[in-house]
């Protein structure tokens, strides 16, 4: 399932799937244009779980119902998504917020995901130029694993 609140993202999402040889929407993969928090509530009601959940929200977004700020709200988002990860599954969390340090991002996400094991963390590749300013190393990606007992 791909979820994005922006209707303009639908065509781009379908295009990217096609470029990777994946038919979407399909029975195997649906695309939802809706607020991710609404989808999370829906998935919880339906008791849906996933082997892998990938989360790459914008640093800041505003909808009619909600304002999301990575610095303020990422922990809540991670906690909500953690409930959708099946036992033995993974949650991949990403942010490109330049003011969100890797240490704070790790701390917030691990606190939000009880029992999570940090499998890996990634940042910008060595071939990606950075300035001397630590904010230029903005990309942070965490891969968390959920134990087989949930």
Pairing of strands 67-69, 117-122: unpaired
Contact criterion met (CB below 8 Å) for 82 and 91: yes
Decide: helix, strand or coil at residue 81.
helix
Radius of gyration of the chain (CA): 16
Please provide the average confidence, as pLDDT, over all residues in the chain.
Answer: 91
b/e map 98-132, b = 16+ CB within 10 Å = eebebeebbebbbebbeebeeeeeeeeeeeeeeee
List all residues 6 or more positions away from 140 whose beta carbon is below 8 Å from its beta carbon. Answer: 94, 95, 96, 100, 102, 105, 121, 122, 123
pLDDT level of residue 125 (50, 70, 90 thresholds): confident
Predicted TM-score (pTM) of this structure: 0.89
pLDDT at 26: 81
Tokens, residue 78: 């991670």
Fold of 48-145: Rossmann fold (3.40.50)
What are the domain boundaries of the chain? 1-34, 48-145
Nearest to 1 by CA among 47, 53, 38: 53
pLDDT at 141: 97
Cα separation, 75 vs 82, whole angstroms: 10
**70: pLDDT strictly greater than 90:** yes
pLDDT level of residue 74 (50, 70, 90 thresholds): very high
Which among 5-9, 16-20, 107-111, 128-132 has the top mean pLDDT? 107-111
Cα separation, 31 vs 17, whole angstroms: 11
**66: pLDDT strictly greater than 90:** no
Cα separation, 96 vs 105, whole angstroms: 11
Cα separation, 139 vs 150, whole angstroms: 29
């Amino acid at each position: 399932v791909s979820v994005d609140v922006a209707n303009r993202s639908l065509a781009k999402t379908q295009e990217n799937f096609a470029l990777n040889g994946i038919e979407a929407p399909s029975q195997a993969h649906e695309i939802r244009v809706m607020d991710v928090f609404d989808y999370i509530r829906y998935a919880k009601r339906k008791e849906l779980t996933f082997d892998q959940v990938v989360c790459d929200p914008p640093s800041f977004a505003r909808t009619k119902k909600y304002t999301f700020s990575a610095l303020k709200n990422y922990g809540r988002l991670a906690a909500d998504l953690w409930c959708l990860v099946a036992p033995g599954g993974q949650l991949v969390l990403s942010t490109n917020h330049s003011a969100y340090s890797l240490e704070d991002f790790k701390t917030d996400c691990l606190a939000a995901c009880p029992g999570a094991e940090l499998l890996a963390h990634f940042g910008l590749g060595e071939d990606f130029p950075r300035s001397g300013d630590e904010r230029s190393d903005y990309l942070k990606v965490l891969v968390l694993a959920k134990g087989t007992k949930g």
